């Protein structure tokens, strides 16, 4: 078939938006469990991440795996721009994609993991960030989790991913420029100043411990967007000491517990967890301030946010709830007694 020729993974440059697009045509063949789980009883034996499958085998608490259906490939040609015709540019799909398994238990989720399990996960993230920064071409190892079929994740076994980019993705580039600009203007850190201001008037703070705040930010794009921000100036997860690792584990679990309690009825809140560590192999990385962002399309029972005309056409978000109101809802939500016990 003619179309079978068009299968080369690559990056292409959008010259109007000045950003790269990843083309991953081979990912179309990856397994999709969602349909099976929707129509049949849950079968753990066809899950590739369970201990009885080759990838999940062995004795482990948390585990790193290569992504078998990677959009980015560390064995691809180096990332070098190539001009096509007079205006177009393309590059290889160099980069790296990994899967991080959170637990051997197929039916666990981030919110039901024990505290020690989450600490082990944070330590694995530290190790992967450190290792990935040793690849000299990498610029941004992106630690994240996609959860729930509502946002397109078909694999229910608790896991996250790491995408390592050989350039700054658009959002990272914007944040990077903001940190540098603010620092050049004031010799201070933008997020340090934001945290100080939020703590002076904590109406958007959901909870805090000695090392982190969790809040619905003043500038939330999504109704129940939550940011976890380090209280002191830490560029990345590898600068955290053991007690900061413990406190990060505690506050992340608590936010996921609040999400699950908010959606209720024993359902898991669909969300994206995006971790923003300092870029690597670049000067001025110390200007970056560690933070995590959670986004969910949930707006209220039976109400979902879809990115539509305004968001997709202009990148301009419309949020129908003020952050102060939804911070209050998340602050007051009742975490179930089972979850609470696991938190203590």
Q: Where in the sequence numbering do the catalytic residues fall? A: 159
Q: Say how far apart CA 94 and CA 79 lie, in whole Å.
A: 6
* Three-state secondary structure call for residue 197: helix
Q: Say how far apart CA 113 and CA 105 lie, in whole Å.
A: 9
Q: List % helix, strand, coil for the chain (3-state, nearest 5).
A: 35, 20, 40
From 69-77, 89-97, 132-140, 226-234, give the range in contact with Zn ion by CB under 5 A.
226-234
When asked if residue 99 is in the footprint of Zn ion (CB under 5 A), the reply is no
When asked if residue 305 is in the footprint of Zn ion (CB under 5 A), the reply is no
CB of 233 to Zn ion, least distance (A): 4
Q: Which of 12, 149, 233, 331 binds Zn ion (CB under 5 A)?
A: 233
Owner of token pair 């020729």:
5
Could you tell me if 130 and 143 are in contact, meaning their C-beta atoms sit under 8 angstroms apart? no
Question: E strands along the chain, which residues?
Answer: 10-14, 19-23, 63-66, 82-84, 88-91, 96-101, 140-147, 159-165, 205-208, 212-215, 226-230, 271-276, 291-295, 298-300, 303-304
From 29-37, 119-127, 155-163, 203-211, give the range in contact with Zn ion by CB under 5 A.
155-163
Q: How many C-beta neighbours within 10 Å does residue 41 have?
A: 6
When asked if residue 106 is in the footprint of Zn ion (CB under 5 A), the reply is yes
When asked if residue 250 is in the footprint of Zn ion (CB under 5 A), the reply is no
When asked if residue 47 is in the footprint of Zn ion (CB under 5 A), the reply is yes
List CB contacts of 216: < 8 A, sequence separation 6 or more: 204, 206, 224, 225, 226, 227, 323, 324, 326, 327, 330
When asked if residue 227 is in the footprint of Zn ion (CB under 5 A), the reply is no
When asked if residue 157 is in the footprint of Zn ion (CB under 5 A), the reply is yes
Q: Which of 13, 20, 33, 49 binds Zn ion (CB under 5 A)?
A: 49
Owner of token pair 């995006």:
274
Closest CB to Zn ion among residues 11, 157: 157
User: What string marks each residue from 179 to 218 as x (binds Zn ion by CB under 5 A) or -?
Assistant: ----------x-xx--------------------------
Q: Say how far apart CA 108 and CA 156 lie, in whole Å.
A: 9
Closest CB to Zn ion among residues 44, 126: 44
From 116-124, 153-161, 260-268, 296-304, give the range in contact with Zn ion by CB under 5 A.
153-161
Number of residues that bind Zn ion (CB under 5 A): 10
List CB contacts of 195: < 8 A, sequence separation 6 or more: 213, 229, 230, 231
CB of 150 to Zn ion, least distance (A): 20
From 98-106, 142-150, 169-177, 217-225, give the range in contact with Zn ion by CB under 5 A.
98-106
Closest CB to Zn ion among residues 55, 137: 55
When asked if residue 159 is in the footprint of Zn ion (CB under 5 A), the reply is no
List CB contacts of 211: < 8 A, sequence separation 6 or more: 230, 231, 232, 243, 244, 247, 248
When asked if residue 139 is in the footprint of Zn ion (CB under 5 A), the reply is no
When asked if residue 289 is in the footprint of Zn ion (CB under 5 A), the reply is yes
CB of 49 to Zn ion, least distance (A): 5
Binding region for Zn ion (CB under 5 A): 47, 49-50, 106, 157, 189, 191-192, 233, 289
């Amino acid at each position: 078939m003619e179309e079978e020729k068009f299968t080369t993974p690559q990056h292409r440059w959008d010259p109007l938006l000045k950003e790269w697009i990843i083309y991953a045509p081979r990912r179309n063949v990856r397994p999709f469990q969602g349909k099976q789980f929707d129509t049949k009883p849950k079968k753990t034996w066809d899950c590739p991440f369970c201990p009885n499958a080759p990838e999940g085998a062995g004795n482990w608490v948390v585990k790193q795996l290569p992504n078998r259906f990677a959009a980015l490939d560390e064995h691809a040609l180096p990332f070098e721009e190539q001009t096509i015709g007079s205006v177009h540019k393309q590059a290889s799909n160099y980069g790296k994609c990994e899967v991080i398994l959170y637990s051997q238990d197929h039916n666990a989720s981030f919110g039901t993991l024990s505290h020690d399990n989450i600490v082990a996960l944070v330590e694995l993230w530290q190790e992967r960030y450190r290792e990935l920064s040793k690849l000299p071409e990498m610029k941004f190892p992106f630690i994240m989790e996609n959860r729930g079929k509502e946002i397109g994740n078909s694999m229910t076994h608790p896991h996250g991913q790491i995408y390592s980019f050989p350039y700054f993705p658009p959002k990272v580039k914007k944040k990077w420029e903001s940190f540098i600009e603010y620092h050049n203007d004031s010799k201070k850190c933008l997020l340090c100043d934001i945290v100080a201001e939020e703590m002076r008037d904590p109406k958007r703070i959901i909870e805090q411990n000695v090392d982190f705040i969790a809040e619905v930010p003043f500038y939330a794009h999504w109704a129940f967007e939550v940011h976890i921000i380090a209280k002191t100036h830490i560029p990345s997860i590898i600068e955290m000491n053991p007690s900061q690792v413990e406190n990060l584990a505690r506050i992340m679990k608590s936010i996921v517990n609040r999400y699950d309690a908010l959606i209720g009825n024993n359902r898991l809140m669909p969300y994206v967890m995006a971790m923003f560590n300092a870029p690597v192999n670049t000067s001025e990385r110390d200007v970056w301030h560690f933070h995590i962002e959670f986004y969910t399309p949930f707006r209220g029972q039976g109400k979902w946010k879809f990115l539509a005309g305004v968001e997709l056409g202009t990148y301009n978000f419309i949020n129908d709830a003020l952050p102060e109101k939804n911070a209050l809802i998340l602050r007051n939500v009742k975490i179930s007694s089972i979850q609470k016990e696991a938190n203590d």
